[in-house]
Amino acid sequence: MKTEIGTLSRAAHRALTRVKTGAERAAERAKALLWQVVRGPSEGWMTFLLLLLCVLLAVWAMDSAQWVPTPGLYSAALYGVLLGLILAKLRFGPWRLAFGGLLVGLFVSFYRLTGLAEEASTLDRFAEVGARLVAWWQAFAGGGTSADTLPFSLFLLLTSWLVGFVSAWFLFRKHNTWGAVLPGGIILVASLTTLPAREQLIHLYPYLFMALLLIARMFTLERQHGWRDSGIQHLRDESGIRLPDGLWFALAVLLVTSLLPLQAVRIDPVAAAWQRINYPVRAMGDELARVLVGVQVRKTDSAHYFGDAQPFGGGITLREEPVLIVEAPLALYLRARSYDFYSGDGWSTSDTRLVSADWVPEQGVADEFRKLQAVEVTVRGLVSLAAGEPLYLSGHPVNMSLGYRLDVLEPARYQLSVSEGGLRSSLEFGDLPLDLQRSVLLLQELSGAPARPLTESEIRSVLPEDMWVVSWSYGSEGVEGVTVERRMAVPLDVVSVRSTDTVAAGSSYRAAVLVPTATAGDLRAAGTDYAGWVLDRYLQLPDALSPRVMELAQELTGGIDNPYEKAVAVRDYLRTLDYSLEIEAPPPGACGVDYFLFELDKGYCQYFASAMTVLLRVSGVPARMAVGYGPGEVMDPLPPDETITLPADEWQAGPTKFIVRDSHSWSEVFFPGYGWIPFEPTPAYPLVARGWPAPPPPGDIDEGIGPSPGDSERSEKPPADGEIIGVAAPWYARPLGVSLGLGLMVVIVWLLWRRLLGPVAEPRVAYARIGNLGVLSGLPPQANSTPYEYGRRLASTLPDVSSELETVVDTYVRACYGRYKVTGADRSRITEAWPRVRNRLLVRAFQGLLPRRFWLR
């Protein structure tokens, strides 16, 4: 029994000893970790602070873009930097740590996102955010649109986290300065492209300042660590670039770059190549625009990409720089693309095909249009267009100076099945066009009360004249189904005109187009004999259209029978609403037209054009939405200002010239015999003149088509081909730039003299400068050579200063390695020896720059 008790006591004692030892070790490790935290990273807290400021400045630019309200961007960036620092100092597998950090960032971003949800409990908020993200992805994958801004908020939060985490990881784990600076720089540049020009410098220069300080700091640390690893002693105040030196250097760089008069020079081949490279990116951006409707952009791009969809968006900012220079005998709307399908949250184009300019459909129906006038138009683009992008034209092209193809709608196709009850459609009866509905009713009557099989001739006899049979399907009792298709219109119903060539920035293309010149009286008398292809596409409305929209359409056009008068009534009503660029995007699931008419009561051209098109369709008038560029401003023939110059005789004769800046949307209404006629419902734009008006006098923008909103003060002439485009420099810019340049050169020379060539009395500084000049002279110090060996090598090459070299090297070795206290006499000897050594090394460096025949005699 005593033996057992002794054994148990010894086991308990050993266990308690192990627990005590483990606790002591844990306490020591915790104390060491705490002390490490207090001391900070080996790179110093100053490095951490500079990196954190760089990251926060990049996030500040992203937050200033005001895409969507997203709280927590700065805290996400801060947490990312802290976690990146902690994981970078752990000695585990780097890939596992990095992947774990990314997972933590995704969770933190998702958790912060739940603060934007409206549910009460945390679990419900998680469920709501998850459901909205899934719905957004379904809209993206299914080709739909979405106005939910929650996914983009998640993207911004995750981006803020990643910028902080990746920057800290590269800096503290890899000691890679570029890996620390570039993530924030990329986010900064991406954000600056959406900001107005006046705000860009506010964000750019602080970031550049902090980035330069961080680079200077890391450069100094790398030099010191390299010397320490090599066992080289150095003076801290003379060993490298100190933070105050980096501070003054960063300030000097920013001061000079901010004061120099800068102008943007456009090089056409480079611009064209960039457009070709950038086209897929813009196309991808257009695809994403479908599901990022609620994201606001404070600055428009220099060239708009007119894609397959035009969803409703939030606030926009008009561009300031010109995009097109147009020469035409009258003001014209330049259509890039038209849209026929309205879904409630935006517009899209039905299936299309690309055909050659001279293609004529085999199964087509000709429609003769009256009052068409051939017009010669010259369009000069100040941004290049890649092959396949829409050209900007008015009317139907008949000739062009470059290759092009027509993007036309596929004809409507319907499948009808023959059953015992007669003819049936794969669609709901109400989804069929009226003429085909009548055909189905007639065939049901022909089949009789006791249903009998229908023959091909019977089916053909009751089909509309512009329908043709694509295919038949047969069963045991005869015809079981038939596929019919609407004959295509001739001339073709063109959605857009696509260039087959690249249009370089600054180049022009000429086109002869047919534009309608019908007067108001002609349109009023056009009637309602619409072709079948018009009714198939251009009366479409969503099933869940708001009743308020239908009631308003009835209120505006209920007592009017004439389509032109209906269009005028709708247009005049819309022009009483307010024009505004600062609006909120429609909430998810809302009808954009209903939201505009009854909630906002204000908007910009896309909303006005959409509302007119939808209200006319409700009223039975075929209409479509068109996008492109409005007529722009008439050029001023007066002498040019300081910004842009052109030969004076170029402005004295010929067609009227228009300068175009902002993309535009308008409504086009179809009138039998005249085709598509543009209407302007946006109150900030003048009404469209009917008929063939005389060109407005140059400079008089109050008659006819005038400027875009906010452009009343813009009146300058276009740049010539290859000319510099930019902001006019003030009179003092050139002398100021020259003075600053000379001053900068003087400062650089003075710094070089002071830091490399000036008088010196300390042996360590003198030896370091000899090494620097030796690099320039082709006599660099070797890592495996002692100072004495390096001195003897220099003396053998430069025997005329061997004694001076011996004085500097001997004093340096005794001071660094022999604990010798340098005396005043030593400093005097070094002061006397240094100029001769410096001059001899400079002469050798200069001789190395010249060919041997200049100095070898």
- Residue 290: Cβ within 10 Å count: 21
If residue 177 lies in a helix (H) or strand (E), which one and from where to where? helix 177-192
pLDDT in tens, 673-724: 999 999 999 998 889 888 765 444 333 333 333 333 333 333 334 444 434 3
pLDDT at res. 814: 84
CA atoms lying within 13 Å on the CB side of residue 605? 23
Closest CA to 406 of 490, 502, 462: 490
pLDDT in tens, 315-332: 777 766 788 889 888 888
Stronger pLDDT, 856 or 280, i.e. the higher one? 280
Task: Show the tokens assigned to 184.
Answer: 């924030």
> For the residues 114-141, what does the mean pLDDT come to?
77
If residue 319 lies in a helix (H) or strand (E), which one and from where to where? none
What is this structure's pTM? 0.64
Using the predicted structure, report yes or no on whether residue 108 has a pLDDT greater than 80: yes
pLDDT in tens, 56-104: 998 888 888 777 778 888 888 898 888 888 888 777 777 777 788 888 8
Query: Sign (positive/negative) of CA torsion 687, 689, 695, 697?
Result: negative
Question: Which pLDDT band holds residue 435 (cuts at 50, 70, 90)?
Answer: confident
Say if strands 422-425 and 352-356 run parallel, antiparallel, or are unpaired. Answer: unpaired
Stronger pLDDT, 37 or 776, i.e. the higher one? 776
Distance of CA 714 to the CA centre of its chain: 25
pLDDT at res. 735: 62
pLDDT in tens, 4-49: 666 767 777 677 777 777 777 766 665 655 555 555 677 778 888 8
> For the residues 177-206, what does the mean pLDDT come to?
78
Closest CA to 263 of 728, 735, 714, 733: 728
- Residue 807: Cβ within 10 Å count: 21
pLDDT in tens, 293-318: 556 655 444 445 687 888 887 777 77
Between CA 575 and CA 573 the distance in angstroms is 5
Say if strands 488-490 and 364-366 run parallel, antiparallel, or are unpaired. Answer: parallel
Stronger pLDDT, 36 or 343, i.e. the higher one? 343
Question: Which pLDDT band holds residue 134 (cuts at 50, 70, 90)?
Answer: confident
> For the residues 326-351, what does the mean pLDDT come to?
89
Question: Which pLDDT band holds residue 805 (cuts at 50, 70, 90)?
Answer: confident
pLDDT at res. 644: 35
Percent of the chain beyond pLDDT 70?
A: 72
pLDDT in tens, 264-300: 455 555 555 555 555 555 566 666 666 665 566 554 4
Question: Which pLDDT band holds residue 383 (cuts at 50, 70, 90)?
Answer: confident
Between CA 348 and CA 341 the distance in angstroms is 5
Using the predicted structure, report yes or no on whether residue 472 has a pLDDT greater than 60: yes
Q: Residue 587 phi/psi, 5° resolution?
A: -65, 160
pLDDT at res. 92: 74
Between CA 7 and CA 821 the distance in angstroms is 68
Three-class DSSP labels, 707-741: CCCCCCCCCCCCCCCCCCECCCCCCCHHHHHHHHH
pLDDT at res. 346: 87
Between CA 159 and CA 126 the distance in angstroms is 20
pLDDT in tens, 152-190: 888 888 888 888 888 888 888 888 888 888 888 888 877
If residue 423 lies in a helix (H) or strand (E), which one and from where to where? strand 422-425
Please give the mean pLDDT across all residues of the chain: 76
Question: Which pLDDT band holds residue 850 (cuts at 50, 70, 90)?
Answer: low
Would you report the helix, strand and coil content of the chain in percent, each value rounded to 5?
Answer: 50, 15, 35
CA atoms lying within 13 Å on the CB side of residue 719? 21
pLDDT at res. 337: 93
Using alpha carbons, list the distances in angstroms from residue 184 to 53, 156, 267, 800.
10, 13, 29, 54
Between CA 629 and CA 393 the distance in angstroms is 9
Between CA 248 and CA 252 the distance in angstroms is 6
Least-confidence region, from 208-217, 222-231, 432-441, 528-537: 222-231
Bridge partners (DSSP) of residue 400 are 511
Using the predicted structure, report yes or no on whether residue 461 has a pLDDT greater than 60: yes
pLDDT in tens, 572-627: 999 999 999 888 888 877 899 999 999 988 999 999 999 999 999 999 999 999 99
Question: Is the separation of the CB atoms in 165 and 80 below 8 Å?
Answer: yes
Task: Show the tokens assigned to 807.
Answer: 């004085």
> For the residues 399-416, what does the mean pLDDT come to?
88
Between CA 188 and CA 58 the distance in angstroms is 5
Using the predicted structure, report yes or no on whether residue 845 has a pLDDT greater than 70: yes
Between CA 845 and CA 779 the distance in angstroms is 9
Least-confidence region, from 241-255, 484-498, 508-522, 718-732: 718-732
Using the predicted structure, report yes or no on whether residue 642 has a pLDDT greater than 50: no
